[in-house]
């Protein structure tokens, strides 16, 4: 017998063997036992999570000749024929290659005939979203009022492409991605059945790469066993060599050079990885995943030499360049430019530290001058309000009254103090230019000098407000 890949050799044959889809298996089992089986089902979800497998198990459960319950025996002729794909009463259609009305007509004609030996005639349509709209419309009447011996099961990764009138005639089930722990457990069973020792680190890496798809994980393990040398446990180095990946340690070394601003060493490390066969776009994607892992580890309290804030800033730069590298005809310059941009990020200050610095600056501000007393008819000062809970510091509030604290005039351009004209109508603040003397005075203010030197900023605009002048 020819070699059979793991995805087929270890395919689940019962409801309990399908990982991560307990909600679907329990509903179908209860429907069969309670006699409430629908005439059409739509299974949707990511690739490799058990949609077609569940459809075949459902076909065996309703056509099993030996088991009276919902679980098929797996030993009768009907169960063996369905598992092998040769049963005459279970027909599978690949909608990716047979998507026209002419391809659907033989299936609809077959629904009129009774099954030859089984209670039900089951039609499994895989990649159902590939059917044309006209093909779907030709099935509407049959789906709405099918013969009592017919059962339809549609499997798709894109349920939104199935027309609404079809979805309303089916019971829809969403298949979930399989958890890493379940994938690792099954891969360990497969490795044990094959008599091969595999490190847990390798199984965890395979499960992570599979992104919730059991078929992808089984294919990766199959490829690893075929490429790795015989004898001894399979390690992470064997996995990297089999898949042609860049070693994680060398990528972390590259990121460390970028974090410390060592551009020559960083570029040399990147060049070595590309010369070894790494694709620039794939390398950028791997670096993005490494930054994600480092940021998550730091957020959970683990050791993170790169720093969470730097990882977040670097990840934004790398993500933009990943798309450029995928579309570019010269991805190598895109990789170098991305790394140079990341290396120039320098020390990224934590937001909490910035807020604390601003609070200290705001606390050092001198008190605002008391309002001028008017004549006999001047209004009494308003009672002090309860400040309430402390709020975030207003960065601009420390600078707004610079002109008044420096002895500037209280009236100008016909405006009374408080920004109101003779008719007591509010006027919007307007941008105003600066003379050389005014610019020198504002820039020489101690607080402005401290803020500009601390954050490396510059004065962009000066606006007149009620309280004086506002810098930005």
- Contacts of 291 by beta carbon, 8 Å cutoff, 6+ apart: 255, 306, 311, 314, 315, 318
pLDDT, averaged across the chain:
80
429 against 451, higher pLDDT:
451
Q: How confident is the model at residue 5 (pLDDT cuts 50, 70, 90)?
A: very high
- Helix, strand, coil shares, percent, the chain, to 5: 50, 10, 40
Residue 337 has pLDDT above 70, yes or no: yes
Tokens found for residue 460: 């962009």
Tokens found for residue 150: 């017919």
Give residue-wise pLDDT tens across range 280-304. Answer: 998 999 999 999 988 888 888 766 6
Please, is 273 exposed, middle or buried when counting C-beta atoms within 10 Å of its C-beta (0-12, 13-18, 19+)?
Answer: buried
To 10 degrees, what angle do helices 351-363 and 446-455 make? 170
**What average pLDDT does the segment 222-247 reach?**
79
**What average pLDDT does the segment 402-411 reach?**
44
Give residue-wise pLDDT tens across range 347-381. Answer: 555 555 666 667 677 666 555 555 554 444 444 45
Q: Identify the pLDDT of residue 439.
A: 58
- The DSSP-derived string for 434-459 is --HHHHHHHHTSHHHHHHHHHHT---
Beta-strand pair 171-174/40-44: parallel
Give residue-wise pLDDT tens across range 48-87. Answer: 999 999 999 999 999 998 888 889 998 999 999 999 889 9
pTM of the full predicted structure?
Answer: 0.68
- For residues 221 and 6, the answer to whether their CB atoms sit within 8 Å is yes
Q: Identify the pLDDT of residue 303.
A: 63
Residue 298: phi and psi, rounded to 5, are -65, -40
221 against 1, higher pLDDT:
221
């Amino acid at each position: 017998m020819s070699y059979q890949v793991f995805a087929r050799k270890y395919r689940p044959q019962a409801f309990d063997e399908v990982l991560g889809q307990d909600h679907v298996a329990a509903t179908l089992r209860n429907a069969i036992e309670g006699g409430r089986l629908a005439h059409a089902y739509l299974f949707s979800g990511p690739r490799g999570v058990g949609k077609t497998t569940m459809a075949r198990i459902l076909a065996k459960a309703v056509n099993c000749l030996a088991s009276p319950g919902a679980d098929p025996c797996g030993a009768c002729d009907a169960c063996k024929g369905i598992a092998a794909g040769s049963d005459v009463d279970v027909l599978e259609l690949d909608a990716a290659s047979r998507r026209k009305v002419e391809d659907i007509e033989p299936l609809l004609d077959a629904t009129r005939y009774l099954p030859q030996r089984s209670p039900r005639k089951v039609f499994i349509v895989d990649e159902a979203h590939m059917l044309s709209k006209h093909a779907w419309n030709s099935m509407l009447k049959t789906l709405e009022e099918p013969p009592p011996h017919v059962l339809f099961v549609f499997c798709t990764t894109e349920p939104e492409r199935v027309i609404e009138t079809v979805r309303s005639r089916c019971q829809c089930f969403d298949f979930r991605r399989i958890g890493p722990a379940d994938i690792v457990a099954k891969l360990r069973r497969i490795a044990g059945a094959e008599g091969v020792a595999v490190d847990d680190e390798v199984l965890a890496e395979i499960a992570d790469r599979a992104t919730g798809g059991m078929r992808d994980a089984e294919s990766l393990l199959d490829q690893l066993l075929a490429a790795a040398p015989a004898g001894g446990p399979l390690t992470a180095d064997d996995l990297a060599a089999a898949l042609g990946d860049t070693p994680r340690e060398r990528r972390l070394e590259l990121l460390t050079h970028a974090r410390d601003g060592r551009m020559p060493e960083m570029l040399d490390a990147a060049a070595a990885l590309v010369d070894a066969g790494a694709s620039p776009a794939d390398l950028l994607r791997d670096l993005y995943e490494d930054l994600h892992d480092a940021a998550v580890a730091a957020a959970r309290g683990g050791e993170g030499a790169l720093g969470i804030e730097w990882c977040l800033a670097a990840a934004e730069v790398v993500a933009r360049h990943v798309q450029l590298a995928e579309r570019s005809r010269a991805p190598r310059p895109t990789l170098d430019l991305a790394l140079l941009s990341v290396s120039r990020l320098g020390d990224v200050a934590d937001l909490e530290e910035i807020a604390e610095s601003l609070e200290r600056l705001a606390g050092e501000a001198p008190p605002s001058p008391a309002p001028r007393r008017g004549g006999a008819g001047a209004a009494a000062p308003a009672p002090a309000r309860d400040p309430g809970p402390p709020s975030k510091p207003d960065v601009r509030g420390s600078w707004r009254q610079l002109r008044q604290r420096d002895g500037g005039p209280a009236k100008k351009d016909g405006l009374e103090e408080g920004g109101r004209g003779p008719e007591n109508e509010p006027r919007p603040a307007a941008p105003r230019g600066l003379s050389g003397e005014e610019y020198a005075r504002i820039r020489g203010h101690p607080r402005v000098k401290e803020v500009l030197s601390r954050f490396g900023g510059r004065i962009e605009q000066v606006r007149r407000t009620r309280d004086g002048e506002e810098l930005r």
